[in-house]
């Protein structure tokens, strides 16, 4: 009898209105939700309109309530003074775990502005930190997540309702602003036709890594390059998982392996998201039909980080795809969200079952 009561107390959390998709929730997270609820804040990140302020408040709360599983670094700021956050979700309470050799999954979102990709990875952070059923995922892997790598662009798109993907740093002549961060990495930066002026939505900057945002991503990649088993750059508009190269149609040596991994993840996402099956797995170049120079996935690949992908999420208005699916049923966004989350889980399974640590895969 005594036993049964104990189990009951442990497994039924005090906060029972909403478990944010968890089967059972970590104590620190329950405490956090109770406080947020008192302040009349929305409890689960998937229900929040994602802006730079949301990211800040959410991470501040997480850091305060669940420091045993979440760490947040903020060493860089943007032109408009917003922090660029590095979130580390991991659990080292099991004695045998050596933090320095733990495999790292590096995920970065929001380079092209917009809020969809940032919201998705905030939900991922929430699931990893909050749900007890994902304990293994943070025991065996260190998740390094950059939830919003272009917060100035994010805010600009929120309030101006324009198609915008650059950051907001003014050009030297103060005539225009913005660098396309997705073209500012030091990988074949000058191989594409020059877009010299900053009026272009694809302006790659005056030089590679001219922007705080891209330097920030570069530093994180270099810090973890030996442990990193994957790099996923999550971007708005699309529904696809794409591998290197972006700058050339020349195939990478291990394209067959890349395809295999991509197809496993894609299959999982399609299974879960259902409805449409458009998640492709091809190179970034072949998806675009032309070169994209200075790309972060190419940069990560050449650093030796295996499983480097560009992941396009949610069918935005810029894609032709969307016109075919304009009458998507309500709740469709949620099916996609769940699909993408199961894709991350599949990636984790692939990485942790792989025994050949030194091979690319
Ligand atoms: C980033 O940019 C701003 C202004 O553009 C600058 O003040 C700041 O010191 C830069 N560096 C870092 C590390 O944030």
Q: Give the residue numbers spanning the domain of 275.
A: 67-353
Examine residue 314 and state whether it is found in any structural domain, yes or no: yes
3-state secondary structure of 213: helix
Which are the contacts of 313, defined by CB distance < 8 A and separation ≥ 6? Answer: 116, 117, 120, 234, 235, 236, 238, 239, 336, 340
Quick check: CB of 210 below 6 Å from ligand 1? no
pLDDT at residue 360 tops 50 = no
Specify if 140 maps to a domain: yes
Strands 228-236 and 308-313: parallel
Q: What is the pLDDT of residue 96?
A: 62
Q: Say what the pTM is.
A: 0.90
- Examine residue 51 and state whether it is found in any structural domain, yes or no: no
Q: Is 76 in the pocket of ligand 1 (CB under 6 A)?
A: yes
Domain assignment present for 75: yes
pLDDT, one tens digit per residue, over 114-135 is 899 999 999 999 999 999 999 9
Cα 153 to ligand 1 centre (Å): 16
Beta bridge partners of 106: 144, 231
Is 79 close to ligand 1, i.e. is its CB under 6 Å away?
A: yes
Going from the Cα of 80 to the center of ligand 1, the distance in angstroms, rounded, reads 9
| Residue at 20 is within a domain | no
pLDDT in tens, 85-104: 999 999 977 666 677 789 99
Looking at residue 74, which CATH number applies to its domain?
A: 3.40.630.10
Question: Is the beta carbon of 245 within 6 A of some atom in ligand 1?
Answer: no
How far is ligand 1, taken at its centre, from the CA of residue 169, in Å? 11
* Candidate from 209, 212, 215, 219 with most ligand 1 atoms within 8 A of CB, to mutate: 212
Per-residue model confidence as pLDDT tens digits over 164-204: 899 999 987 777 889 999 999 999 999 988 766 778 889 99
User: What is the Cα–Cα distance from 101 to 81, expressed in whole angstroms?
Assistant: 34
**Is 41 a domain residue?**
no
Neighbours of 24 (CB within 10 A): 14
Establish if 338 belongs to a structural domain. Answer: yes
3-state secondary structure 227-261: CEEEEEEEEECCCEEEECCCCCCCCCCCHHHHHHH
Does residue 49 lie within any of the structural domains?
no
pLDDT of 325 > 80? The answer is no
Q: How many domains does the chain have?
A: 1
Nearest CA to ligand 1 atom 9: 77
């Amino acid at each position: 009898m005594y036993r049964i009561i104990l189990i009951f107390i442990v497994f039924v959390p005090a906060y029972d209105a909403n478990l944010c998709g968890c089967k059972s929730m970590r104590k620190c997270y329950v405490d956090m939700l109770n406080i947020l609820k008192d302040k009349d804040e929305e409890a689960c990140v998937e229900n929040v309109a994602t802006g730079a302020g949301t990211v800040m408040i959410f991470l501040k709360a997480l850091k305060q309530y669940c420091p045993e599983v979440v760490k947040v670094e903020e060493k860089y700021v943007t032109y408009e003074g917003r922090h660029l956050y590095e979130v580390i979700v991991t659990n080292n309470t099991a004695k045998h775990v050596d933090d320095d050799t733990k495999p790292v999954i590096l995920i970065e979102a929001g380079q092209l502005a917009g809020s969809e990709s940032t919201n998705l990875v905030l939900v991922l952070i929430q699931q990893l930190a909050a749900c007890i059923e994902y304990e293994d995922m943070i025991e065996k892997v260190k998740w390094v997540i950059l939830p919003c790598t272009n917060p100035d662009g994010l805010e600009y798109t929120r309030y101006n309702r324009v198609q915008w993907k650059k950051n907001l740093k003014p050009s030297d002549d103060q005539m225009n602003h913005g660098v396309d961060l997705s073209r500012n990495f030091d990988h074949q930066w000058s191989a594409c036709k020059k877009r010299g002026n900053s009026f272009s939505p694809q302006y790659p900057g005056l030089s590679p890594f001219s922007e705080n945002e891209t330097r920030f991503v570069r530093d994180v990649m270099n810090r973890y390059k030996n442990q990193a088993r994957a790099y996923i750059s999550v971007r708005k508009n699309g529904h696809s998982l794409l591998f290197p190269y972006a700058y050339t149609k020349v195939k990478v040596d291990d394209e067959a392996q890349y395809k295999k991994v991509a197809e496993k993840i894609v299959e999982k996402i399609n299974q879960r998201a259902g409805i449409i099956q458009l998640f492709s797995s091809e190179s970034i170049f072949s998806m675009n039909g032309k070169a994209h120079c200075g790309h972060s996935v190419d940069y990560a690949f050449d650093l030796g980080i295996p499983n480097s992908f560009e992941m396009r999420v949610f069918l935005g208005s810029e894609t032709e795809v969307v016109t075919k699916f304009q009458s998507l049923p309500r709740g469709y966004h949620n099916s996609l969200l769940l699909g993408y989350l199961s894709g991350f889980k599949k990636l984790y399974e692939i990485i942790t079952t792989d025994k050949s640590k030194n091979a690319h895969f």
